[in-house]
A = this chain, B = another copy of it.
Amino acid sequence: MNAAYTLGVDFGTNSVRAVVVDCRDGRTVGTRVFNYPSGHQGVLLDPRDPHLARQNPADYLEGLRASVTGALEEAARDKAFSAGRVIGIGVDTTGSTPIPVDVNNRALALDPKWSAVLAAQAWLWKDHTAAEEAAAITAAAAAHAPEYLAPIGGTYSSEWFWSKIWHCLKTAPEVFDAAYSWVELADYIPAVLAGVVHLGDLRRSVCAAGHKALYSDTWGGLPSKAFLARLDPKLAALRDRLFDEAYAADRPAGRLCAEWAAALGLRSGIAIAMGGFDAHYGAVGAGVRTGTLVKIIGTSTCDCAVAPVSGGIQNVPGICGIVNGSIMPGYYGIEAGQSAVGDLLKWWVERVCEGDDALHEALTARASRLRPGESGLMALDWNNGNRTVLVDPRLTGLIVGQTLHTSRADVYRALIEATAFGARAIIERLTACGVPVDRVVCCGGIAEKNPLFMQIYADVIGHPMIIAGSPQTPALGAAASAAVAAGEAAGGHASFAGAQAAMVRDGAQQFVPDAGARRVYDELYGIYRELHDTFGGVAGSTAELGTVMKRLLAIRERVMALQA
């Protein structure tokens, strides 16, 4: 078979990365990173509001062009490669990152009239301005549509689609009124490539819709107009200008339009895969399949698993999102996570020890010399709340066991261990609810760079920690998706399983559990669960201590309000 290639384009928080991948073996033949030029490292900030994080949509388009042409340029050094052999493009992005658009799917911010208005830009995933709206949506759903909350674990987030749009309506009504509709970045880029100029032609991915916009077949798509009208009549009206159906990646989002084909130097008409979130395509690129858990470990951790739709799936309490087709067609996509992992160590090093990267290295070296149990410490990994399995963003941290000899390295290791115990709690919940986990593949910055972390995870969890073969699993997954969208006849693949078999491989490095360490960690994990269940307020444990963290927060908030 002749060589065929696909492009994977990964829109991150600070930059966009394009890779050119050989469909036969997953080999990367070209890559290019483009840093967003606007704002601070690509993020538009508001000095008056630390919760605000927006992005300039023009950066996305410039980045798309620059990264793809750059990657193709590099690929061209390979004699076997030619741009004519590229058969498809896949796109993954951050999310929920909704963009206000006009009736022609043009981002509002590209219009000079709106280009300087923050509310008219893309609302980046980590924008937290809509906390009040999120709480109001959660309350309204709890009262009137509890079914909406079940698949998202009980709490609608300020990071998500409806919270942000409602916040725009309340704080920048002129932008809300000027926008014909709103499109997730993951859907926007494929539509741009496909030349979609009528919103009715835009195919939305179930990935963004199901995980962030309360979309489900169970209740016929997006939330009902009646429910949205409880929030604001204008949101109910907007529903008519959004979408009725969202799609898995079993069909293309469209075909490359002539204009972008020319701009990128590619054949027009090649397949554009459905867009997806970076974590989901990252799971594909790391080899997710039934029985395989993919852990993307960075500042936070995102856990992705799949379960065949044909097998059905029981409810998994405390798992944030279970969406049909969200990771791969034919499977329920299951997403879990831990709110602070790298961030927990970053907190310790930067905020408490007031150190830098060099201190991270020094503490890692010192912590590596400690054996399991030696610090005498036990921590809960909740400084940023607990996403899975307690689904409670208002939980806080705890450390117990300090003596006058306890060192900063002791605590550093205890915090790593705490995240490992939290990871084990998630796996135990999955397997208890019929989602088997017999293989764990790790990717992300920490997985690649921190052997101490990975060895502790292996020892605590009791499975080998397999490091993903690619350091760019989201872009590789997007490229695999493009190979499926292009199809076997074009030199791609007939299915995700086929694409993964050919294009995805495990890394050479594995971290294997040590029997002695496992025994100690099994015992320590028992203590972790006692603290976890007590302070997490799990039914059956001491009711009083289960509210300690909330009561401390309530006192703090009252004190702060008195000052304000």
Contacts and interface: CB of A to CB of B under 8 A. Distances in A.
A563 B371 contact: yes
A545 B534 contact: yes
A523 interface: yes
From A376, A383, A406, A549, residue with most partner B Cβ within 10 Å: A376
Given A347-B406, A403-B384, A375 B556 contact: yes
Interface stretch (A30-38, A112-120, A350-358): A350-358
A352 B407 contact: yes
A548 B531 contact: yes
A165 interface: no
Contact of A542 (B534, B548, B555): B534
Given A542-B534, A559-B373, A560-B374, A552 B400 contact: yes
A400 B559 contact: no
A449 interface: no
Q: What copy number does this chain have within its complex?
A: 2
Contact of A398 (B344, B402, B556, B559): B402
A411 interface: yes
Give the residue among A344, A351, A398, A404 with the most B Cβ atoms within 10 A.
A404
A60 B452 CA distance: 53
Given A558-B373, A559-B371, A559-B373, A383 B400 contact: no
Contacts of A343: 404
Given A351-B408, A354-B408, A374 B556 contact: yes
Given A376-B552, A552-B377, A404 B351 contact: yes
A353 B407 CA distance: 9
A530 interface: yes
A340 interface: yes
B402 A397 contact: yes
A353 B354 contact: yes
A57 interface: no
B403 A549 contact: no
A372 B560 CA distance: 10
Interface in A429-450: none
Nearest to A375: B556
B383 A402 contact: yes
A59 to B, nearest CB: 27
A401 B371 contact: no
Interface string A449-486: 00000000000000000000000000000000000000
Interface string A338-365: 0010011011000111100000000000
Interface string A538-560: 00011011001101110110111
A30 to B, nearest CB: 38
A399 interface: yes
Nearest to A370: B559
A405 interface: yes
A247 to B, nearest CB: 37
Interface of A: 340, 343-344, 346-347, 351-354, 371-378, 383-384, 396-408, 411, 520, 523-524, 527, 530-531, 534-535, 541-542, 544-545, 548-549, 551-553, 555-556, 558-560, 563
19 contacts: A343-B404, A347-B402, A351-B405, A352-B406, A352-B411, A354-B408, A371-B563, A372-B559, A373-B556, A373-B558, A374-B559, A375-B556, A376-B396, A378-B548, A396-B401, A399-B402, A530-B545, A541-B542, A542-B545
The 3 A-B residue pairs with the shortest CB-CB distance, nearest first, are: A397-B402, A376-B556, A373-B559
Given A344-B404, A351-B407, A376-B555, 18 more contacts: A343-B404, A347-B406, A351-B406, A352-B408, A353-B353, A376-B553, A383-B402, A398-B401, A520-B559, A524-B552, A527-B552, A530-B544, A530-B545, A530-B548, A531-B545, A531-B548, A542-B542, A542-B545
